[in-house]
Structures are given as C-alpha cells and as structure tokens.
C-alpha cells in the first residue's frame, strides 16, 4: 500500500473513533428513552447496561496494555471496527437482557480498540514520520459521534421502531468504517520507535495514585451525563421531545474543544487548564441540580461537552510528556481508573433514579465526586512541582560538581 498523507491518516483514525465510540457507544444514550417507551427499559437496567459497556472498555484497556506488537494492534483494531457494527445490529435482534449485557460489553471492547489502539497507532505513525504527536483532532471524533447520533436520532425516532433504529445505527457505522479499512496503513513492517535515554528524576510514587484518583472522579462526572443527559432532559415536562437537541449541543461543544484547550494550556499551563476543566464539569452538574429550564439544560450540555473532552485530552497528553519513554503503562493505569468509575457510576445513579423517582440525589453525588477530583488535581500538581524543585537542585549540584572538576577538585 502506498504511503498515505498525514491528513488522510488523521481522518482515518477520527472516523474510527466516530464509529466505535461516537456511534457504537453514544447511540445508546438517545436509544434509552426509545427502549424505555417501547420495551419497558427501566432506569436501573439502563444504568447496568451502561456499566457493562464500560466493563468492556476497561477489559479492552487492560488487554491492550499487554500488547506490544504493532501488527497485532492493527489487526485487533480492525476486529474492533467489525465488532462495533455487529453489536449495534444485534441489539435490535433481541429483548433478552442477558444478551443486551453481552452486546454492550462487546461494544465496549470495540470502543477500546477504536480509542486506545487507534490513538496509539496514530501517535506511532506521526512520530515515526517526524510529525508533531498531537491528538486534539483525534479526540474530536467523540464530539462528531455525539453530533451524528443526536441528528440521526431525531430523524429516525418518529418513523422507525426501536429495533429498526439500532439497525440504522449499525448501517451508519458500517459506512464509517469502510474508508478506515481501506486507508489504514500496513503496520506489519513497522518497528517500534527507538528510545532515547536521558537522565531525569522519577516522580514520587504518590503521584500516579493521586492522578488516578483524580481521573476516577473525572470518569464519574463524564459518564453520568453521557448516559443520562437525554433521559434527564426528557423527564422534565417543559423539555419533553427536546432530548436530542440537548445531546446535539453537547456534541457541538465537544467537537472543537480539544483544540481550544490546547490554546488554554499554552496560555496558562497544563495544571491550571486542567483544574479549570474539572471545575467547569462540576458547574455543568450543578446547573442541572439548580434549574430544569431549557436554557439551564442547554448551558449544562455546552459546559459538559467542552469540559469532559478537555480533561481526557489534557490528562493523556500530560502523561505522555511526563513519561516519554513508556507512556502506555501509566495511560493504562489511568484508563483503568476512568473505566472503573464508568462501571460504578451509571449503575449507582440509575438505581437511585429508579428508587427516588428523579436524578437529583445521583447528581449530588456526582457533584461531590467531581469536587473531590479538583482537590486531587491540586495535590497531584503539588507533587509534580516538588519534582521540578528536585530537578533544579540536582542540576545545580551537577553544575557545581562540573565546576569543581574543572578547578581540579574531584573530591568536592
């Protein structure tokens, strides 16, 4: 296969994210009200199904962390593309809950392939060809997928039954993966990037657990809106029938946000930008608690879409910068934390919504968790800054030692 251009490679990987997460995952959000009205899907089962999907994503992330062969990663990436189509199609073939759990789990595996394998292959391809390894455009696929599912849901939900809607989502996914399958480069002959040894002071052991805690909290804040935003909107009398629009707004806000956050990082620094994104995500949840008016839900969707994608892109970029020799290991640890919260949160909040008859208590818990995440980010920042101080002291000591050697005093 002839070498493809950088732009085509970016488009290839973005389309994969749109297919495997944007549709295979996010189509479930506008489908919850449809399945609730036509087959009696309850809030608790909706939450458990979302948890099964994230269990699949988490399993995929753990599996990927043990794979080193680029050729194998590329093959599994292609498998994930196919699974994303099959699982969406099969959701419309059954009303058996155990099969739904299995299908959502497998869909989560395909999402891990599209996001993690796709991102890794893209980063390798860019760095191998001396391109800047920025993934902001890659993450835009999440927002594009939300926009597609929102628009598609409003076009089909009045004319097709719930099962037919799943078939349509599967067809759109198939159309998206066709060019990905055609354009994806052959990685069988690719070799791993050469490591460049350098001297540095390792981060304290406490850094990663604290950052994992912060990312766990971020996963909690992300998944509640990702799962229940449309359902919350539809449960408000004044917003009945407007859920698709709220989801569309979240997607439109998400799509360009990664690039905008890159500019914020350039102006303020990574930690300040990350704290801002966490606080904004908490504000989006607070708005849903304080007001059920249309303007408030729209504002919440805008802030949510822009903030959650900023957190993901900035945290993963930061880890790549702090651990340049082997970023896959810390990234897998972070993904484990993010995925764990995405399993726990929708099941918990879905159960509480069914028990109390509304989402208020679940939103309160989510708000508290996000604020705890803000605190964890501040602690992680302090730990990382202490490392910078150690590096400065180490460099001063090395410079003093070199000066002593020049003066003929090696014992100093």
> Measured between alpha carbons, how far apart are the two ends of the chain, in Å?
60
Average pLDDT (376-402) is 68
Count Cβ atoms below 10 Å from residue 235 Cβ, excluding itself: 18
The predicted pLDDT at position 259 comes to 80
Per DSSP, the three-state class of 172 is helix
Q: Does residue 349 contact residue 54 with C-beta atoms inside 8 Å?
A: no
Q: What is the pLDDT of residue 412?
A: 40
Residue 402's pLDDT band, with cuts at 50, 70 and 90, is: low
Q: Residue 339: is its pLDDT beyond 70?
A: yes
Least confident interval from 256-270, 274-288, 298-312: 256-270
Output the six-digit token pair for 211.
């950052």
Token pair 């066709």: residue = 178
Estimate to the nearest angstrom the gap between the alpha carbon of 320 and the chain centroid: 16
- CA dist 240 and 252 (Å) reads 21
Residues 380, 341: Cα–Cα separation, whole Å = 19
Q: Global pTM?
A: 0.77
Longest dimension (CA), the chain: 87
Q: Which of 32-41, 52-61, 280-289, 398-407 has the lowest mean pLDDT?
A: 398-407
Residue 222 to residue 310: CA distance in whole angstroms: 11
Q: Whose CA is closest to 133, among 193, 70, 187?
A: 193
**Exposed, middle or buried, 43 (CB in 10 Å: 0-12/13-18/19+)?**
buried
CA of residue 258 relative to chain centroid, distance: 12
With the CA atoms of 67, 70, 71 and 74 taken in that order, what torsion angle do they form, in degrees rounded to the nearest 10? 90
Q: Residue 265: pLDDT band by 50, 70, 90 thresholds?
A: confident
Going by C-beta distance under 8 Å and a sequence separation of 6 or more, which residues neighbour residue 142?
17, 21, 22, 26, 254, 255, 309
pLDDT digits (tens, 9 = 90+) for 67-76: 878 889 899 9
Fill in the DSSP letter of residue 134: -
pLDDT, residue 410, reads 47
CATH 3.30.465.10 fits 203-407, yes or no: no
DSSP 339-389: HHHHHHHHHHHHHHHHHHSSSHHHHHHHHHHHHHHHHHHHHHHHHHHHHHH
CB atoms within 10 A of CB 380: 25
User: Does domain 1-186 correspond to CATH entry 1.20.120.450?
Assistant: no
Average pLDDT over residues 279-296: 88
- CB 48, CB 55: distance < 8 Å: no
What are the C-alpha distances in Å from 294 to residues 159, 214, 411? 26, 31, 74
Residue 386: predicted pLDDT: 79
Q: Measure the CA–CA gap between 88 and 162, rounded to whole angstroms.
A: 12
Residue 366, CB half-sphere, CA atoms under 13 Å: how many? 36
pLDDT of residue 349: 82
The secondary structure of the chain in percent helix, strand, coil, rounded to multiples of 5, reads 80, 0, 20
d(CA 119, CA 103): 24
Determine the pLDDT at residue 209. Answer: 92
115 token code pair: 């996001």
Residue 198 has pLDDT above 50, yes or no: no
Please tell me the predicted confidence (pLDDT) of residue 391.
53
Question: Per-domain residue ranges for the chain?
Answer: 1-186, 203-407
Distances (CA, A) of 101 to 52, 54, 96, 208: 6, 11, 9, 32
Is the model more confident about 406 or about 313? 313
- On the CB side of 63, CA atoms within 13 Å amount to 17
List, for residues 40-60, the tens digit of each pLDDT value. 888 888 888 988 998 898 888
CB atoms within 10 A of CB 333: 19
CB-based burial label for 409 (10 Å; 0-12, 13-18, 19+): exposed
């Amino acid at each position: 296969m002839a070498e493809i251009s950088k732009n085509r490679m970016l488009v290839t990987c973005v389309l994969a994210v749109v297919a495997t997460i944007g549709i295979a995952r996010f189509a479930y959000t506008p489908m919850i009200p449809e399945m609730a009205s036509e087959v009696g899907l309850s809030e608790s089962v909706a939450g458990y199904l979302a948890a099964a999907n994230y269990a699949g994503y988490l399993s995929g992330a753990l599996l990927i962390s043990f794979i080193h062969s680029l050729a194998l990663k590329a093959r599994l990436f292609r498998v994930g593309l196919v699974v994303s189509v099959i699982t969406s199609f099969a959701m419309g073939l059954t009303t058996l809950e155990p099969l739904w759990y299995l299908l959502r789990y497998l869909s989560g595996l395909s999402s891990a392939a599209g996001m993690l394998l796709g991102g890794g292959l893209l980063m390798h391809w860019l760095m191998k060809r001396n391109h800047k390894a920025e993934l902001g455009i890659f993450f835009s696929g999440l927002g594009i997928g939300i926009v597609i599912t929102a628009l598609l849901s409003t076009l089909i939900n009045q004319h097709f039954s719930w099962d037919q809607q799943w078939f349509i989502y599967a067809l759109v996914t198939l159309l998206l993966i066709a060019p990905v399958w055609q354009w994806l480069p052959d990685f069988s002959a690719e070799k791993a990037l050469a490591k460049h040894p350098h001297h540095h002071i390792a981060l304290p052991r406490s850094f990663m657990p604290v950052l994992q805690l912060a990312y766990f909290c971020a996963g909690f804040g992300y998944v509640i809106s990702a799962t229940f935003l449309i359902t919350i909107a539809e449960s408000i009398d004044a917003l009945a029938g407007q859920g698709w629009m709220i989801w569309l707004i979240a997607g439109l806000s998400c799509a360009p946000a990664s690039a905008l956050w890159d500019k914020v990082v350039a102006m303020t620094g990574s930690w300040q930008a990350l704290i801002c994104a966490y606080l904004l995500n908490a504000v989006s949840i607070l708005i849903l608690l304080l007001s059920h008016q249309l303007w408030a839900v729209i504002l919440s969707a805008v802030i949510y879409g822009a903030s959650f994608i900023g957190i993901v892109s900035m945290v993963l970029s930061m880890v790549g910068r702090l651990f340049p020799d082997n970023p896959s290991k810390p990234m897998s640890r972070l993904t484990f934390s993010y995925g764990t919260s995405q399993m726990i949160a929708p099941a918990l909040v879905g159960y509480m919504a069914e028990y109390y008859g509304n989402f208020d208590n679940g939103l309160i818990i989510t708000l508290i968790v996000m604020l705890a995440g803000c605190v964890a980010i501040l602690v992680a920042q302090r730990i990382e800054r202490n490392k910078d101080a150690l590096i400065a002291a180490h460099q001063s000591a090395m410079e003093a030692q070199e000066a002593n050697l020049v003066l003929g005093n090696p014992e100093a």
